[in-house]
Amino acid sequence: MKKQWLYDQFSKIEVNDARLQKRAVDIAIGCAKHPEESLAGRFDDWSDLKATYRFFSNPKITHQLLQEPHYHEVLEKACFSEELVLFIQDSSELLFNSHPSTQGLGPTADSDGNGLMFHSCLVAKYYESEETEIFGLGYQEAWVRPEKKTDNSSKESEVWLRTLKKIGPPKPHWISVGDRANDIYDFLHNANELRWKYVVRARHDRWVEIEGVQRRLFSWIRQQTTQCTSKINVKAKGEEFSGEVTLEITWFKTRLFPPRNTDAACDEVTYIRVWSPEKSKLEWLLITNLSVNNKEDALRIIKIYRRRWLIEDYHKAVKTGFRIEDNQLKHANRILALFGLIGVLATKLLAMRELCRLSPITPVKEKVPERTVILVERYLKVKLKTVQDFWRSLARMGGFIGRKSDGEPGWQTIWKGYKRIQDMLLGANLL
């Protein structure tokens, strides 16, 4: 990661203390250099390590404080983008079950879980081709889930809408994207009021108005005939879905009834159903307030939804890439602050991977240090010409076999391969 980028993200944190600003940049540089290390492994010098612990114990240093300058930069890019910009949201959790002495953690979705909850909004520029350019985070929240639910505690699901409100009034080319957990009436209704466009995977069998009649959504849409078909390459968990499939697609415009069914149906939306007669388990129901007038519109929305996996990869970059669950901080508040920093850095890790994935024919020498290239070439007895060669070799070192049906290597294998190379380079340096 370039030092200038790290400087831009962290030197402007609003603390009114130049030493803390400088420290934030130094810590970011240390973390970016050794993403997979513990804090102790990132700072060889004892006094640097002590200063790092002190920094994260400072009550002024919070997750939000560390991320705010980054949000500004990201949203500015999003404003001036001439293409569509996706605001991909998702929730996840950090587990610290192996850290019994850490104070202040809370329950997680996993019943025995001990950890933190978080919600991220990844901002990425959309192209019709496979490409996406990662801008970074538009917003992120991390919190400790209370042990017992109290009446006045706000619902966690409100974070989806709050994210849009924190980001502020949208540009016409901005689109919020979310999975099934995002199918929340309050979200759909208020996003509309706030003029946000959205593409959300449907979960609830809602009451909808069709030709003036109130009907249940699921049974209705499953009776509709195909309006168009499209071939895509699907790669999902398990062998069953891998490879090229023909999708059947249909859609219809409708109005949503509020959940308690007191008022008239108001919000106009379009439901899109995507399914495959060959693979009975493959079905996506999408709900959107973008207009769908023809096949092209419907296909674009499906493509937009399919970029959602970027946020899963981003969360992997946080967890596997930066191993935030392996830190030695002893209090949840300090982990939250550390996460503020790592949450930003992980977007860059993801962006670098996308760059390699998407500029496959770029000569490897332009993107990768020479020593690394030589090492991989000698170890695997191959000749590396392009970035894609390098990328696949990295995955091979992480256990990727590369049969035709395997598709592109995943994050974890690439990361494993990367770590092996780092260890080998370290060994070579020591000798």
Tell me the CA distances in angstroms from 338 to 50, 143, 301, 325, 430, one per residue in order: 14, 13, 36, 11, 30
DSSP string, 205-225: --EEEETTEEEEHHHHHHHSP
Q: In this complex, which beta carbon is closest to Mn ion, that of residue 181 or of residue 358?
A: 181
Cβ atoms of 123 and 78 closer than 8 Å = yes
Task: State the minimum distance, in angstroms, from the CB of residue 181 to Mn ion.
Answer: 5
Strand ranges for 185-339 from DSSP E = 197-201, 207-210, 213-216, 228-234, 243-256, 267-275, 283-288
With 0-12 / 13-18 / 19 or more C-beta atoms within 10 angstroms meaning exposed / middle / buried, residue 272 is buried
Binding site for Mn ion (CB under 5 A): 90, 179, 181
Cβ atoms of 202 and 283 closer than 8 Å = no
Q: In this complex, which beta carbon is closest to Mn ion, that of residue 88 or of residue 342?
A: 88
Task: State the minimum distance, in angstroms, from the CB of residue 343 to Mn ion.
Answer: 17
Question: HEC profile for 120-173?
Answer: EEEEEEECCCCCEEEEEEEEEEEECCCCCCCCCCCCHHHHHHHHHHHHCCCCCC
Task: State the minimum distance, in angstroms, from the CB of residue 182 to Mn ion.
Answer: 8
Q: In this complex, which beta carbon is closest to Mn ion, that of residue 5 or of residue 284?
A: 284
CA 119 to chain centre: 9
Q: In this complex, which beta carbon is closest to Mn ion, that of residue 145 or of residue 255?
A: 145
Task: State the minimum distance, in angstroms, from the CB of residue 91 to Mn ion.
Answer: 6
Q: In this complex, which beta carbon is closest to Mn ion, that of residue 40 or of residue 109?
A: 109
Task: State the minimum distance, in angstroms, from the CB of residue 163 to Mn ion.
Answer: 13
Strand (E) or helix (H) holding 119: strand 115-126
Task: State the minimum distance, in angstroms, from the CB of residue 90 to Mn ion.
Answer: 4
Tell me the CA distances in angstroms from 99 to 51, 156, 325, 405, one per residue in order: 22, 25, 9, 40
What tokens does 176 get? 């919020």
Task: State the minimum distance, in angstroms, from the CB of residue 119 to Mn ion.
Answer: 9
> Mapping DSSP to helix (H, G, I), strand (E, B) and coil, where does residue 11 land?
coil
Instruction: Count the neighbouring beta carbons within 10 Å of the beta carbon of residue 276.
Output: 17
Q: In this complex, which beta carbon is closest to Mn ion, that of residue 181 or of residue 210?
A: 181
Task: State the minimum distance, in angstroms, from the CB of residue 304 to Mn ion.
Answer: 16
Q: In this complex, which beta carbon is closest to Mn ion, that of residue 29 or of residue 181?
A: 181
Q: In this complex, which beta carbon is closest to Mn ion, that of residue 90 or of residue 354?
A: 90
Q: In this complex, which beta carbon is closest to Mn ion, that of residue 311 or of residue 324?
A: 311
Instruction: For residue 291, report the phi and psi dihedrals to the nearest 5 degrees.
Output: -85, 140
Task: State the minimum distance, in angstroms, from the CB of residue 350 to Mn ion.
Answer: 17
Cβ atoms of 51 and 23 closer than 8 Å = yes
The Cβ-side half-sphere exposure at 345, using a 13 Å CA radius, reads 31
Task: State the minimum distance, in angstroms, from the CB of residue 186 to Mn ion.
Answer: 17
Lookup result for tokens 């399919």: 306
Euclidean distance between CA atoms 105 and 390, whole angstroms: 41
